[in-house]
């Protein structure tokens, strides 16, 4: 009898996933390496090491990066782009951004609300005014 875990195809390492997500999200927001590093309160060299898979970052550094990118920490650990069944409501608390949903782009400022289905890939696309803070509520598919 074989062990199912031993036969499983290994996925990317957590470092690979974090590196890819941080770089993808940084570039989508149009941020330079230095700009994201400054927002997150880490050195440019450390960010470069994270994006090039030369180091593992601490949970506190991961949380700082997620905050600087305006995403939950889980978004940096997930291999797949954000998508889910059901709906999503996004409320912008501070700042301004362009939020992408599939091929659509929505410019949002403090006080704006966006409701959309979660089926297509979605997430912050471009940062217009920093800092950006928003709340999102995901409703299950019914």
Please tell me the total number of residues recorded for the chain in this structure.
142
Nearest alpha-carbon partner for 51 in 30, 67, 72, 33: 33
Task: Kindly state the average pLDDT of the residues 7-16.
Answer: 71
Helix, coil or strand: residue 44:
helix
Q: What pLDDT, on a 0 to 100 scale, did the predictor assign at position 11?
A: 67
Predicted pLDDT of residue 30:
84
**Cross-strand pairs, 107:** 98
Average pLDDT, the chain: 83
Q: What is the pTM of this model?
A: 0.57
The predicted-structure confidence for 43-91, as pLDDT tens digits, reads as follows 999 999 999 999 999 988 998 998 898 877 878 888 766 666 778 898 9
Per the DSSP assignment, residues forming a β-bridge with 92 are 134
């Amino acid at each position: 009898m074989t062990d199912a875990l031993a036969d499983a195809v290994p996925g990317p390492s957590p470092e690979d996933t974090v590196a890819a997500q941080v770089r993808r999200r940084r570039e989508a927001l149009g941020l330079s390496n230095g700009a994201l590093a400054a927002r997150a309160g880490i050195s440019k060299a450390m960010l470069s090491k994270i994006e090039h898979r030369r180091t593992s970052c601490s949970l506190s550094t991961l949380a700082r990066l997620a905050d600087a990118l305006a995403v939950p920490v889980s978004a940096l650990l997930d291999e797949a782009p954000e998508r889910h069944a059901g709906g999503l409501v996004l409320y912008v608390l501070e700042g301004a951004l362009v939020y992408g949903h599939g091929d659509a782009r929505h410019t949002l400022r403090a006080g704006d609300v966006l409701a959309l289905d979660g089926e297509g890939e979605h997430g912050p696309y471009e940062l217009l005014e920093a800092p950006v803070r928003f709340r999102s509520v995901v409703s299950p598919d019914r």
